[in-house]
Amino acid sequence: MTALANILDEMTAPAELATPLPEGSVRCTACGHRCLVRNGRRGVCQVRFNAQGTLRAPWGYVAALNADPIEKKPFYHFLPGAVALTFGMLGCDLHCAYCQNWLTSQALRDSASAEAAYLVKRVSPQQIVEAAKLSGAEVIASSYNEPLITSEWALAVFKEARSAGIKCVMVSNGNATPEALDYLQPALSGMKIDLKSMQDRNYRRLGGVLKNVLDTIQRVAGMGLWLEVVTLVVPGFNDSSEELWDAARFLASVSTDIPWHVTAFHSDYRMLDTPNTPQQTLLRAADIGREAGLRYVYAGNLPGSVDDYETTFCPQCNTPLVERRGYRILALHVTAQGICPRCGTEIAGVWPVHR
């Protein structure tokens, strides 16, 4: 066992998303892998483990804690302009070769991320909420690693935040279970979900299953949580027009009001030889989203270079309602009731009451 694993194992609590089985085994229900974890073994995520018949889950620390614009998550229709205090732990249930948060997400898989041990700081839910108040945050977000595998800790933070009048969101890969979503729903207001590919073979390369993610998107949309979806467009992986059409049509079949963010890949982690996403590819992806009937399509990671795909338009009269450049809000015209002031069309989202 590594030194980092020893440190993390001390900061755990009994998992609530778990089902005891005979002979001391446990079935974990935090993510779509539904790992059968035998005594002394770990789940796929490496941070949930069986200690003498009890599944242990991460608890009581953060490896990252930052006050960010909520647009960075990205959420464009959830309190635009708000500060989101974002916390993260370590570990992930996928192993994406292009992960941009690999230092935290792959900490127990990749020896190069051993320095993640220096990021770990003990903290309480109350301290995180106090930090949110001090930073003026209206939102607390669980991100940086995969938050589903640390759901118990996230829920403890979220409950404290909700008591303080702060809304809570998750930034997830979507490899969820109905049990985890039902567990989190009482304290959760929104989710950002990655739709990484529409090909199951691609998902299996990343360590996941496409159906789990599609099911999660449909379930979250049906639960009344605010949902936005991101597709990182990676050259040679998921950038064909056919696959982008499949993604756009699927989202439109769930709801044409789901904001779809197509974002530019940049070489990172184990995909340093893959070129960055060209501007024209990103614009093609965004055009496909609009043609498929999605009302709110955005292109990210290339601020100022994506035509009008940073702006929210009224889907009825085409009035610019939220003008952005990168993570900055330049103008906000949606009313507090979520209405276009020109034609009265309802604009899907959660809009700020105080400007």
How far is Cα 261 from Cα 335, in angstroms, rounded to an integer? Answer: 23
Q: Structural domain tally of the chain? A: 3
Q: DSSP letter string over 106-131? A: TTTT-GGGGGGGGG-EE--HHHHHHH
Residues 267 and 315 in one domain: no
Residues 128 and 259 in one domain: yes
Residues 114 and 66 in one domain: yes
How far is Cα 258 from Cα 237, in angstroms, rounded to an integer? Answer: 23
H runs (alpha helix) in 57-197: 102-105, 125-134, 151-163, 178-184
Residues 298 and 317 in one domain: no
How far is Cα 7 from Cα 27, in angstroms, rounded to an integer? Answer: 24
The segments of the chain whose pLDDT lies below 50 read none
Predicted confidence at residue 39, as pLDDT, reads 97
Residues 113 and 180 in one domain: yes
- Domain housing 189: 61-308
Predicted confidence at residue 115, as pLDDT, reads 79
Residues 343 and 240 in one domain: no
Residues 178 and 110 in one domain: yes
Predicted confidence at residue 312, as pLDDT, reads 98
Residues 315 and 278 in one domain: no
Contact 72, 80 (CB under 8 A): no
Predicted confidence at residue 1, as pLDDT, reads 55
- Which residue, 94, 272, 273, is CA-closest to 194? 94
Residues 53 and 120 in one domain: no
Q: Which of 308, 324, 341 is the last residue of a domain?
A: 308
Predicted confidence at residue 112, as pLDDT, reads 64
Looking up residue 153, the CATH number of its domain turns out to be 3.20.20.70
Residues 157 and 284 in one domain: yes
Q: Quick check: helix, strand or coil at residue 197?
A: coil
Residues 51 and 149 in one domain: no
Residues 327 and 228 in one domain: no
How far is Cα 141 from Cα 78, in angstroms, rounded to an integer? Answer: 12
Q: Which of 41, 57, 73 is the last residue of a domain?
A: 57
- Which residue, 267, 268, 313, is CA-closest to 286? 313
Predicted confidence at residue 107, as pLDDT, reads 87
Contact 31, 93 (CB under 8 A): yes
**For the chain, percent helix, then strand, then coil, each to nearest 5?**
30, 25, 45
